[in-house]
Amino acid sequence: MGNASSTLTQYDIEEVQEHCNNLFSQQEIVSLYQRFCQLDRNAKGFISADEFLSVPEFAMNPLSQRLLKMVDGLNFKEFVAFLSAFSAKASMPQKIERRCYK
């Protein structure tokens, strides 16, 4: 899972699910992994600030510079944990914990 060009194993999926308090289904994690790999253009295993800024919606966000401080250099597991704060299934304490993750 460290290399973005590798594929997720069942173990990887379950590990990410557990890390994120089961807020995402296995299919959602696979979809997030595919998106992560698209963003990680150099297959470094993490997403740089420049790669995040390549997403027009992110780059146009007036809070993008603040968000970059939180997301720059996230690996896949951290990426999913960060996104879990936006899940409707997450409790308020979980959202706060994830927001302060990095």
CATH of the domain at 70: 1.10.238.10
Q: Is residue 48 part of a domain?
A: yes
Burial of 66 (0-12, 13-18, 19+ CB in 10 A): exposed
Q: pLDDT category, 97, cuts 50, 70, 90?
A: low
- Estimate the crossing angle of helix 26-39 against helix 10-19, to 10 degrees: 100
Say if CB 83 and CB 32 are below 8 A apart. yes
Closest by CA position to 36, among listed 67, 81, 70: 81
pLDDT in tens, 46-66: 999 899 888 888 889 898 888
For residue 77, the enclosing domain spans 10-99
Q: Give yes or no for residue 29 having a pLDDT over 90.
A: yes
Q: Is residue 69 part of a domain?
A: yes
